Amino acid sequence: MTVISARSAIATAEPGEPRAAAPLHRAGRLLAVVDGLAALVVVLVASLVPDAISRLGPAFLFVPMWVVAVCATGEYQLPGHLGARCRRLAVAALVVPTGAMLVADLVAYPLSARTVAAVCLASAGLSVVARGVVAVVARRGVRLSGVTHRVVVAGTADTLPRLLERLETSPTRRFAVVGAGGLSTCVDAARESSADAVILAPDPTVSAADLQRLCWHLEEAGVAIFVWTGLLTSPAGRTRLDLGEQLPLLHLVAPRRLGPSYAVKHLLDRTIAALALLVLSPLLLTLALAIRLDSPGPAFFRQTRIGRDDAPFTMWKLRTMDCGPDDAVLDLVELNEASGPLFKIRQDPRITRVGRWLRRTSLDELPQLVNVVFGQMSLVGPRPALPSEVAEYLPDVRHRLVVRPGMTGLWQVSGRSDLSWDETVRLDQQYVDNWSLLLDARILLRTAGAVLSGRGAY
């Protein structure tokens, strides 16, 4: 069967039988209800604040106004990750106050700009929390109509394995694969498996006209359409649609690390690290004393690591192991539990009593603040690598060395030592390509939770 003849296989709905609603529209209805309830709760709470709302009846006009404003951003029609949805809500929160003040003037309703701004921000905040809950629920495998999808994956023998692997390792659990095959059979497969979405992988052998017809058939069947770009990473915030001259293109903006904001990061890193050293110096001295009393040897451990652009530097840590010969690790090679060039042992016999506690709490890494002050490391970045590890790097892995290594990073908040080598590399590359000051702030906040849980720390 060819793509062109797929229309006969679609088995269009019988006369009088309603067609399936678009899944993204179902998601839009769910989000609209959530936003309406959020706005209603905020208005009711605001009515309890003295002098905030004079008459409750007209204040309820804010509820449909808020839903309409969010709808105008495309939030109920467009898919997207939580960050993109938060940005749309922020746009609505900035626009609604002007409209609300105009409506209040028209109906002669006394309303202060401060109250409107507070209500809009609170509504946006509740809506963000609700979307976060939806994301967490979906990630735990609960199917939500229009938010998670039963999908058929369509592409070539070359592209399908790569796409299926990406879907299998995706942490969001948005897509449950119920079928896979070529573009010419995806309509049949979607109907037989009751799929509500199809993910199309690039196929240069299919003409643009055939692909357009396929999209028409899927649309008529009420099946959502996603097109995979083929990119290995998700360049969050760096993709733009370029639709000029009837030539639809996906424009990939240069990473932020090549702009002036990365210099701001470097300045912030060194300033914050210097202040943290001053505040934490009593704690560091106490920990150093505990290490000396627990086992013979120096309190601090120094080791050569590889920094930005292959520059070696001496990294400082609190000592967590017994002082033994440098070749002692050779006797433990068979106990290595890590993959790739990493060396990790969950129950390493060289770790001291104090050292085990330091590693679990990550306090052994505090002296790296000195490296941050000297500009050799960052507060957030890829894991600092050993020279022996870098010597085994493939060309693609070396991409993680274009930025300074960090005291924490995506690798630490995602499992630390429990991660495989491939997963560690993927997270580091994702950080390098998608770096932003906001991402650094999010990682620093998540680091506190990772340290408290102790997961992957050994």
CATH code, domain carrying 150: 3.40.50.2300
- Rounded to a whole number, what is the distance in angstroms from the first to the last CA of the chain? 56
What DSSP string runs through 226-269?
EE----SS--TT-EEEE-GGG--EEEEPPPGGGSTHHHHHHHHH
Percentage of residues in the chain with pLDDT exceeding 70?
Answer: 78
Q: Are residues 125 and 29 in the same domain?
A: yes
Q: Is residue 67 part of a domain?
A: yes
pLDDT interval class at 219 (50, 70, 90): confident
Q: Are residues 265 and 216 in the same domain?
A: no
Beta bridge pairs of residue 237: none
pLDDT surpasses 70 at 346: no
Q: Which of 233, 253, 273 is the last residue of a domain?
A: 253
Query: Domain range for residue 374?
Result: 261-453
Q: Are residues 326 and 432 in the same domain?
A: yes
Q: Are residues 245 and 391 in the same domain?
A: no
Residue matched to tokens 């939030």: 75
| Total count of domains within the chain | 3
What DSSP string runs through 254-311?
PPGGGSTHHHHHHHHHHHHHHHHHHHHHHHHHHHHHHHHHHSSS-SEEEEEEE-GGG-
Tokens of 252: 């990939």
Q: Which of 234, 253, 272 is the last residue of a domain?
A: 253
Tokens of 290: 């505990």
Q: Are residues 10 and 50 in the same domain?
A: no
| Closest-CA residue to 152 (of 89, 196, 215, 207) | 196
What's the mean pLDDT in 4-29?
A: 41
| Closest-CA residue to 10 (of 186, 177, 149) | 186
pLDDT of residue 345: 60
Q: Which of 227, 253, 279 is the last residue of a domain?
A: 253
Residue pLDDT, tens place only, 31-77: 888 899 998 998 888 888 777 666 677 778 888 888 988 888 888 87
Residue pLDDT, tens place only, 116-171: 788 888 999 998 888 888 777 766 656 665 567 788 999 888 888 888 888 887 76
Amino acid at 277: L
Q: Are residues 210 and 319 in the same domain?
A: no
Q: How far apart are CA 116 and CA 199, in angstroms?
A: 42
| Closest-CA residue to 93 (of 131, 128, 60) | 128
- Whether the predicted model's global pTM rises above the 0.75 cut: no
CB contact set of 123 (below 8 Å; sequence gap of 6+): 35, 38, 39, 42, 66, 93
- Higher-pLDDT residue of 275, 115: 275
CB contact set of 162 (below 8 Å; sequence gap of 6+): none
CB contact set of 444 (below 8 Å; sequence gap of 6+): 379, 380, 408
CB contact set of 360 (below 8 Å; sequence gap of 6+): 454, 457, 458
Q: Are residues 283 and 393 in the same domain?
A: yes
pLDDT of residue 332: 52
Q: Are residues 9 and 37 in the same domain?
A: no
Beta bridge pairs of residue 249: 242
Q: Is residue 458 part of a domain?
A: no
Tokens of 111: 């309303």
Q: Is residue 104 part of a domain?
A: yes
Residue pLDDT, tens place only, 241-265: 777 667 777 778 888 888 888 999 9
